[in-house]
Amino acid sequence: MKPGSSSSHPVDITKDPKEIPGSQIPYEKFLDCIHCGLCTAACPTYLETGNENDSPRGRIYLMRAVVDQRVELSDAVRGHLDLCLDCRSCETACPSGVQYGRLIEPFRVDIQKMDARQGKSSQQDWFHRWILYRLFPYPSRIRMTLVPARVMQTLRIDKLMNALKLTSLLPDKLKRMNDLLPRLKPAEPDLPEVLPAQGTQRARVAFFTGCVSEAMYSHVNRATVRVLQANGCEVVIPKTQACCGAIHYHSGADQAALEFALKNLAAFELDDIDAIIVNVAGCGAMLKDYGHIAEEIEGVSAEHKEQLKQLASKFKDVSEFLFELGPIAPQGEIPHSATYHDACHLVHAQKVQNQPRKLLELIPGLNLIPLNESTICCGAAGSYNLTQPEMADQLGKRKLKNILDTGAQIVISGNVGCTLQIDSKLRQSHQPLWVAHPMELLDLSYRGQKPAF
Amino acid sequence: MVDDTSQTINLSAPVLEKLEAGSRPFSLLIQKLTGIVGKTGILYNADELLVYECDGYIVDKSAPDIVVFPTTTEQVSATVKICNEFNVPFLARGAGTSLSGGCLPIGGGVMIVLTRMKQILELNLRDRYAIVEPGMVNLHLTNALKGTGYHYAPDPSSQGSCTIGGNIATNSGGPHTLKYGVTTNHVLGLEAVLPDGTIIELGGPTAEVPGYDLHGVYVGNEGTFGICTKAIVRLTRDPEAHRTMLAVFQTIGDATRAISEIIAEGIIPSALEMMDHGIIQAVEEAFHFGFPLDAGAVLLIEVDGLEVAMDAEVSKILELCNKNNVREIQRADTPEERMLIWKSRKQAFGAIGRLSPSYCTQDGVVPRTRLPEILEFIEQTSAKYGLRIVNVFHAGDGNVHPILLFDERDQGQIQLVLEASEEILEKCLELGGSVTGEHGIGVEKINFMSRIFNETDLATMEKVRNIFNPRQICSRDKVLPPHGSGNATKVTQTHPARRAPH
């Protein structure tokens, strides 16, 4: 068939809408795109491939064409949609307010469901079943899994294994996970359920601990809580809170994601707190989207929809919250140069861009150097660096080059996924930079301590 | 749900071959092109060609048969030679932000996408030029120059994604062209692959080049003179200082008189942009910038230059605004305030997208002194057709962008929008202006050419085109109406474009 004549492509009206991914998405959301193309250069994958099919405008066009039944969901079309990082950089660039995330996310959920019905779901493979679904959402399980890694790192067996190339015997995805594994710090004891404010109490907040971050970066969570306390916040940490469900939702397991959302609904008492603080951009973006997602998932009661919407409105990124509260200026000097990387799920999904910078500027002695392409994804994007290794590596290298060009000693990232990715790229190229969370630096400054790296 | 109001152009040009998928010549062509650009540099399956069926102009659609992504001039030249050998049409595409269908592959053929040729080949600050590849994004060049004290002056509002090659093809403008000029004033020379595959160099980095000013001829060719593969562009010193202000007027008449008097005074603002009553309301509804909702017009005025000259210029501007009954003037003295004011201007179109399901922007030009007349006419047209029309535009250049708001699902409204647009553009011509300021002719305005130019003018243009592109194998049926074809190939619009920001 000649593509030029495709506008008169016959529509197969007998097809069950369930078999057409995206057919449940409100069609106006596609029409919001006026095809101006201003999003293209904001898209990391388009910057790499230069292929319109790998641009936001192109992907919207493809999704709409699938819904209109102008094209089949071929392997090629799927490939271009799968390559999307869901970083939402295009939403920042779009002058027409297209909600790209609300197109690609439900579209992908539909694809996953279709696959499941045809018995070829990626949800069923060993990686999704054992690693993504049964390990990642549970910090205690990750911590258990990391015990041998900690032992090996302490005894330096990991380096020996790398040197002997024994790690190359692992399946690809596990090898990549091993490469991503940072130098682990000792796990901190569990946080208590309530921590008092220092000085006059200015707010009462709950803290969302996250799963990967609590297992691998428990020290960042402790630093975050201390910074909140130093700013006069009483912090409550409900034990019954659960994973945000992002990994499940984004891989099409929307019912599992809903269960996590409902667990969190039950865990947080909304009435007597000012906000629920999140220090991981990826989780924050998901949690703030609970209201939208409840609308998209089938079988959510009206009551739950309303409650999830209210819960969603309580979540704040820690930098966003502190900036609004009015931060108490820290006094300890940190005489280093640093550069701030914008995590996609902060800058694009949550529009948090200036707040962390303003907080960091308060730290005496810290020299903040602007990072070129700071808002372009580092290639981490949740589990993307495990599922799309090639593009993840290309973007990782791009980010590394921009970071090294600044000459900074510290890279600051507000998202655990970016931290893992950037840290791994730095280690691979033997660069001694420290990848820190903004709260770690603030915490050191409040406590008058110097970083050791 | 299928958007069947759009139509496919199929202008026949019998000298060129039509590719049939699966045919032997088609397979052979794919094989030869793959030999040039490699397997990762070519697309030929229908599902991956679909996104290339239109650019920023979505009224007409036509997909290419093959898309290639060359990375060197030699690959472009080899591709073009193969197209000649197979007698198939080809055309270039950059970011695909054209608003007039400049990247529409009429009759299919090979599309040469230049997005992988995006390097800066040389930055020479002392001689103030840069040599860049055509796929370089306009803003990326300016970003690369940050901190050097220089910038690339042409700044179309799509500069975040449009490419230098596309800017050269359409001779792009932007808010700062009032003072700094359009693309042609900033291109010192270029390298191009002619439609027969020959590689030529025109102009050069030095100030004066003997012989005809062919790079001047080349800029603005809308892709019909071959494919630009390198550009030598001028770098402009960053101004030492600038002042940005927002002047609020009760009526459009007052605002336009102020514009004329500012320019008559010998002051050349670096930008002079106007938003009318309708757009102020739209922007305010969407962004809450704090604009007075009852104002007739708002002028965004920016001057730049030496610090010592600024205050005198600003006080003169204030004096002229006051003389023309300005209501209030907001100054943007900090970089943050300046950013906010510019944001309100550059995002104005986005705000409209939120107000109305569809809109159509026109791109007319009138002599600056006739602005009140055209704006009054637009207002009358709005009342006559019962359509809401708002205006945001480059006032300093007399380049108006009336935006017609409608709902594309209502056929009746669509017809009204087409008629109203036509009347407004006719009026621009009548007032001594033109039907396109910066978007180009492409395929969209091709029917207006014979109304703007007489037969002799058009015949001369055609002769020039034929020197570069005698067989019309490169970007066919653009800019000039197909010769001697009369009404047979006339493209009739059935549906207004939904338009992008500028």
Q: Can you give the pLDDT at residue B128?
A: 96
The residues spanned by each domain of chain B are 24-113, 239-355
Mean predicted lDDT score pLDDT of chain A: 87
Q: For residue B109, which residues of chain A lie inside 8 Å, CB to CB?
A: none
| CA gap A271, A268 in Å, rounded | 9
| CA gap B369, B124 in Å, rounded | 40
Nearest to B391, CA basis, from B379, B407, B380, B408: B379
> Which one has a higher pLDDT value, B410 or B81?
B81
| CA gap A187, A183 in Å, rounded | 12
Q: For residue B55, which residues of chain A lie inside 8 Å, CB to CB?
A: 35, 37
The pair of structure tokens assigned to B250 is 């009760």
In this complex, is the C-beta atom of B204 within 8 Å of any C-beta atom belonging to chain A?
A: no
Q: Can you give the pLDDT at residue A445?
A: 97
- This model of the complex carries an ipTM of 0.89
Mean predicted lDDT score pLDDT of chain B: 87
Residues 7-36 of B with CB under 8 A from A: 7-8, 10, 20-21
> Which one has a higher pLDDT value, B392 or B356?
B392
Domain A17-119 is classified in which CATH homologous superfamily?
Alpha-helical ferredoxin (1.10.1060.10)
A&B contacts, CB < 8 Å: 152
Q: Can you give the pLDDT at residue A132?
A: 65
Q: Evaluate if residue A175 carries a pLDDT over 80.
A: no
Q: Evaluate if residue A338 carries a pLDDT over 80.
A: yes
| CA gap B7, B497 in Å, rounded | 12
> Which one has a higher pLDDT value, A386 or A306?
A306
- Which letter does DSSP use for residue A152 in this model? H
Average pLDDT value for residue range B6-30: 66
pLDDT exceeding 90 applies to what percent of chain A?
A: 62
| A372 to B349: CB separation less than 8 angstroms, yes or no | no
Q: Burial, B217: exposed, middle or buried (Cβ in 10 Å; 0-12, 13-18, 19+)?
A: middle
Q: Evaluate if residue A188 carries a pLDDT over 80.
A: no
| B354 to A372: CB separation less than 8 angstroms, yes or no | no
Average pLDDT value for residue range A360-374: 96
| A37 to B56: CB separation less than 8 angstroms, yes or no | yes
Average pLDDT value for residue range B111-126: 97
3-state secondary structure string across B47-90: HHHHHHCCCCCCCECCCCCEEECCCCHHHHHHHHHHHHHHCCCE
Q: Per-residue pLDDT tens for B183-198?
A: 999 999 999 999 999 9
Chain A interface, best mutation among B66, B161, B172, B499, by max A CB count within 10 A: B161
Amino acid letter, B373: E
In this complex, is the C-beta atom of B502 within 8 Å of any C-beta atom belonging to chain A?
A: no
Q: Evaluate if residue A3 carries a pLDDT over 60.
A: no
Q: Evaluate if residue B77 carries a pLDDT over 60.
A: yes
Q: Can you give the pLDDT at residue A143?
A: 67
In angstroms, the separation between the Cα of residue B17 and the nearest Cα of chain A is 14
Give the model's confidence band at A344: pLDDT under 50 very low, under 70 low, under 90 confident, else very high: very high
Residues 138-177 of B with CB under 8 A from A: 139-140, 143, 158, 160-162
Of B135, B143, B350, the CB nearest to A50: B135
Q: Can you give the pLDDT at residue B4?
A: 39
Q: Can you give the pLDDT at residue A279?
A: 96
H-type alpha helices, B431-484: 449-452, 455-468
Give the model's confidence band at A11: pLDDT under 50 very low, under 70 low, under 90 confident, else very high: low
Q: Evaluate if residue A2 carries a pLDDT over 60.
A: no
Q: Per-residue pLDDT tens for A81-104?
A: 999 999 999 998 888 889 999 999
Q: Burial, B31: exposed, middle or buried (Cβ in 10 Å; 0-12, 13-18, 19+)?
A: exposed
Nearest to B266, CA basis, from B313, B307, B300: B313
Residues 104-133 of B with CB under 8 A from A: 108, 113, 115-116, 118
In angstroms, the separation between the Cα of residue B427 and the nearest Cα of chain A is 27
Q: For residue A41, which residues of chain B lie inside 8 Å, CB to CB?
A: 95, 137, 139-140, 160-161
Q: Can you give the pLDDT at residue A14?
A: 63
In angstroms, the separation between the Cα of residue A354 and the nearest Cα of chain B is 12
Which chain B residue is nearest to residue A63, measuring alpha carbons?
B51
| CA gap B96, B490 in Å, rounded | 24
> Which one has a higher pLDDT value, A225 or B252?
A225
Residues 334-353 of B with CB under 8 A from A: 346-347, 349-350, 353
Inter-residue contact A12 to A57 (CB < 8 Å): no
Q: Torsions phi, psi of A25, nearest 5?
A: -75, 130
Q: Which fold has domain A329-446?
A: Rossmann fold (3.40.50)
Give the model's confidence band at A134: pLDDT under 50 very low, under 70 low, under 90 confident, else very high: low
Q: Can you give the pLDDT at residue B287?
A: 67
| B53 to A80: CB separation less than 8 angstroms, yes or no | no
Chain B interface, best mutation among A31, A49, A52, A80, by max B CB count within 10 A: A52
Q: Evaluate if residue B238 carries a pLDDT over 70.
A: yes
Q: Can you give the pLDDT at residue A150?
A: 65
Q: Can you give the pLDDT at residue B118?
A: 97
Q: Can you give the pLDDT at residue B1?
A: 35
On whether the B24-113 domain is CATH 3.40.228.10, my answer is: no
Inter-residue contact A2 to B21 (CB < 8 Å): yes
For chain B, the helix, strand and coil percentages under 3-state DSSP, each to the nearest 5: 40, 20, 40
In angstroms, the separation between the Cα of residue A374 and the nearest Cα of chain B is 12
Average pLDDT value for residue range A305-333: 96
In angstroms, the separation between the Cα of residue B280 and the nearest Cα of chain A is 16
Q: Evaluate if residue B483 carries a pLDDT over 80.
A: no
Nearest to A100, CA basis, from A67, A41, A49, A58: A58
| A40 to B158: CB separation less than 8 angstroms, yes or no | no
Give the model's confidence band at B5: pLDDT under 50 very low, under 70 low, under 90 confident, else very high: very low
In angstroms, the separation between the Cα of residue B191 and the nearest Cα of chain A is 22
Average pLDDT value for residue range A262-269: 94
Q: Can you give the pLDDT at residue A156?
A: 67
| A52 to B52: CB separation less than 8 angstroms, yes or no | yes
> Which one has a higher pLDDT value, A318 or B449?
A318
The C-alpha torsion from A359 through A363 and A365 to A369, rounded to 10°, is -20
Q: Per-residue pLDDT tens for B269-306?
A: 998 999 988 888 877 776 677 788 889 999 999 999 99
In sign, the C-alpha dihedral spanning B413, B418, B423, B428 is positive
Among A327-331, B348-352, B435-439, the least confident range: B348-352
Q: Evaluate if residue A7 carries a pLDDT over 50.
A: no
Average pLDDT value for residue range B136-158: 93
The residues spanned by each domain of chain A are 17-119, 329-446
In this complex, is the C-beta atom of B498 within 8 Å of any C-beta atom belonging to chain A?
A: yes
| A31 to B53: CB separation less than 8 angstroms, yes or no | no
The architecture of the domain spanning B239-355 is 2-Layer Sandwich (3.30)
Amino acid letter, A151: V
Rounded (10°) angle between helices A254-267 and A302-314: 70
Average pLDDT value for residue range A127-141: 67
Q: For residue B498, which residues of chain A lie inside 8 Å, CB to CB?
A: 34-35
Inter-residue contact B57 to B17 (CB < 8 Å): no
| CA gap B501, A117 in Å, rounded | 43
- A13 Cβ neighbours under 8 A, 6+ residues apart: none
